[in-house]
A = this chain, B = another copy of it.
């Protein structure tokens, strides 16, 4: 098995990926990128910090790095819950289910989901992106 995903976690490739995105590949950034780009996933800064647990990566660096990765387009912020920003390592256009009972965020397994009509934008503005969140709850 030699998928794009397994190639991605190779550390020299990560280094190159970071360089390609104008990111100086420091030890901490490679470590973080390796973790979050290994597969498409949702995570908060706090969860990432815990995953890095034993490593020598500080809280400030985690926040700095996530901010940098968002700016460079390596991850995408998804904000659904007050006081909780999820980061999404899947940066392709896609949307989410948010389970209000469990707080779990999942991708909508349909890349064709779209609006039936794109409304006129306010004067002097341009579209930046669309976030569609379907809130679901456990059936009782």
Contacts and interface: CB of A to CB of B under 8 A. Distances in A.
A112 to B, nearest CB: 7
A82 B45 CA distance: 12
Q: Counting chain B CB atoms within 10 Å of each CB, which of A112, A119, A126 scores highest?
A: A119
A91 interface: no
28 contacts: A77-B82, A82-B83, A82-B85, A83-B83, A97-B122, A97-B125, A99-B122, A99-B125, A100-B128, A112-B117, A115-B132, A116-B116, A121-B134, A121-B136, A122-B136, A125-B136, A126-B136, A126-B137, A126-B139, A127-B134, A127-B136, A130-B132, A130-B135, A131-B132, A131-B133, A131-B135, A132-B133, A133-B133
Copies in the complex: 2
Interface of A: 77, 79-83, 85, 97, 99-100, 106, 108-110, 112-117, 119, 121-122, 124-139
Contacts of A128: 100, 135-137
A138 B117 contact: no
* A contact face: mostly helix, strand, loop, or mixed: strand
Contact of A110 (B83, B117, B136): B117
Contacts of A77: 82
B119 A113 contact: yes
